Structure 1
């Protein structure tokens, strides 16, 4: 895999996967609005960081350890919208029944064995230790396999975070760590418009031997380019990389009940900035496609209509199957 900006075909594919992630996220919010689930871990605003990195993973060969917000990651590497909805509904049922392993807040655990996706535990940052162990095993076996581990900025102050990075660096493991940093509070001061907000990394957190890059996580081209290089370095035995992706997360303001119309969408407010929509990953990706002269309104409309119809069907099937299995 070469370190390069995405081709026109790849960029359109990325846009389609980002749009799918947004539509699925909207439908998960509708499950919350209708009382089917009690808690939402939204990926809204994370689409570029998740899809732009996950599209570089060799599915079925590499190992992926997502964290609970990573709907875009699991959709990109092969989980279907139906499986995402069933996961959300199943997490809610476990919490309601008080089964062992359930939590007060039923977060998603994105295990997917056939695609080497490892279920994340509830404690923050412990999946990073598991990822380091998998990468160590891959190195011992001399397999050209990369392990990719995701986390949020709340993980960076945990002891497991430092232990994972130190172990990976000390053994020069084939692993890529990705931290999705929510920088929404900084948008009120428009600091994102001129430079990236301050890093969430603790002082002296990065050990020697760990490559590091801080990226605008709303720019899918920057994410893809950095991830290609990190994956290439890991696969060729040049050690681990830590990618810190600054992004802007927005929240729904109006939760619309289902009206029978597949085009019904959850309504979102832009981040608190005069240039708020510029930080929306889908808007930025569309601008990139337009600048390259490869945006087509008819294609985009057909893509949106088809995806909304397919996702709506998947949602109704997941609700039916969940209710029948009670």
Structure 2
């Protein structure tokens, strides 16, 4: 209980916390409402045919203007797009061959993932989902390490601390809470670190989504939440999940700025996410970005997507392919010629071949690893189970 105010002295009230939206809006000469609300139409810099959207037609509003990235940056990102697509398709083949247990393809969503990885600095953290393998690879993780999980290996495949990439989360939305925790710790330590947390549209229906966004907003943490809205939570369409005008509008209720971007437009993604990351770094976060994209293949190899969506819908989105869009733009700019295209294709094929050959060899497994790495000091129950397994294995060998 607080001490009573001495007689004759005015009561002192605690100051209201500074709203980062108010402070950030001052930098753009707009109102906090304009800063927090997403633009009335999704941000797009490139048309599906690869032509640049004229500034007069971009529909950009005060506080939502975004520049076109440099061609050199786009070319680097395009190469990662091509490699990511080739690995995606190679993995689907490996599943059919029995070399991998399961694979959730991100064919069609690669632009979101490449941009997310490229907008981060070395000390920033990425928190991906099970479908974000291309983002993990674009962050520098070897594809062989990334894909070991889908083969059924017992470990995550790579060292999260080395790459500043969390293990790919299969439970929906748990990674958002982890991202908030890392961002909170970084803020308490005074570190210049931003966390980028990825999720899908289905994850926005989870309780962890609410908890993560609310905590991040209350404590003004440097987190960018990237929602890849691909239209379906497995077979559940977005219309059965929310009645909000957009998923981007959900951020406003938590007191954070939001934006809605064409998720198949790599140029727009780099610009929107790049600015968002810097705003978080400067104290203007957290932020929520909704990227409108599409999963062109089934949820996983165990899914039959013909049961819940029409082929005409898939064909419509195939015409918006992020790779074709960027290829046409860079070719028109003179930044991508035949020699560069061939070099990029050869690089992608070499990566796929290396992965294919590695997956053809089954790893040597020690069943005792089931118990060896659970606790630093094994419990009596684990020791008993390990002994039982050792006895069974010895009798099989006899």
Number of residue pairs matched by the alignment: 282
Q: Specify the SS of the correspondent of 1:54.
A: helix
SS where residue 207 of structure 1 aligns? helix
State which of 330, 341, 344 in structure 2 corresponds to 1:303.
344
**Residue aligned with 1:243, SS:** strand
Structure 1 equivalent of residue 247 of structure 2: 201
Give distance in 1, aligned partners of 2:110 and 2:250.
29
Aligned to 2:81: 18
Listed as ranges, the matches of 1:87-102 within 5 Å are 87-89=149-151, 92-94=152-154
User: How far did 1:299 drift?
Assistant: 1.4
Equivalent of 2:141 in 71, 79, 83: 79
Q: Deviations over 1:62-115 (max 9, x none)?
A: 1111011001210111111222232321xx255xxxxxx9xxxxxx88763201
Unaligned runs of 5+ in 2: 1-65, 234-243, 302-310, 367-398
Query: 1:166: Cα distance to partner?
Result: 0.8
CA contact (8 A) 2:110 2:134 kept: yes
What is the CA–CA distance in structure 1 between the aligned matches of 2:232 and 2:81, rounded to whole Å? Answer: 19
Displacement of 1:4: 3.9
Contact 1:4–1:228 under 8 Å retained in 2: no
**Structure 1 unaligned spans of 5+:** 95-100, 102-107, 186-197, 256-269
CA–CA distance in structure 2, aligned partners of residues 47 and 113 of structure 1: 24
Name the counterpart of 1:287: 328
Q: Which residue of 1 aligns with 2:92?
A: 29
Question: Hey, what does 1:319 align to over in structure 2?
Answer: 360
CA distance in 2, matches of 1:142, 1:217: 33
Partner of 1:272: 313
Query: Which SS does the other structure have where 1:215 is aligned?
Result: strand
1:57 is matched with 120
How far is the alpha carbon of 1:239 from its aligned partner? 1.6
**Distance (Å, rounded) in 2 between the aligned partners of 1:295 and 1:162:** 43
Give 1:171's aligned residue.
219
From the CA coordinates, give the structure whose radius of gyration is larger: 2
Structure 2 counterpart of 1:135, from 183, 206, 213? 183
Shift of 1:162: 0.8
Task: Mark the CA change 1:271 to 1:289 in structure 2 (over 3 Å): closer, same or farther.
Answer: farther
Change (3 A) 1:175 1:316: same
Deviation at 1:130, TM superposition (A): 1.3
Residues 52 and 9 of structure 1: CA distance in aligned 2, closer, same or farther (over 3 Å) = same
Q: How far apart are 1:295 and its partner, in Å?
A: 2.0
Q: Deviations over 1:197-237 (max 9, x none)?
A: x8663975643431100111000011000011101101111
Local SS of the residue matching 1:13: helix
SS of the counterpart of 1:306? helix
Q: CA RMSD in A?
A: 2.8
Shift of 1:121: 4.2
- Aligned mates of 1:20, 1:114 — CA distance in 2: 22
Deviation of 1:287 (Å)? 1.8
Report SS of the residue matched to 1:295.
Answer: coil
Q: Are 2:68 and 2:271, in contact at CA under 8 Å, matched by a contact in 1?
A: yes
Residues in 2 aligned to 1:295 and 1:212: alpha-carbon distance in whole angstroms: 33
Question: Which residue number corresponds to residue 182 of structure 1?
Answer: 230
3-state SS, counterpart of residue 285 of structure 2: coil
1:66–1:110 Cα contact (<8 Å) kept: no
Q: Distance in 2 between matches of 1:93 and 1:159?
A: 30
Deviations 1:262-312 (A, max 9, x none): xxxxxxxx8736654331111111122123222212210222023202321
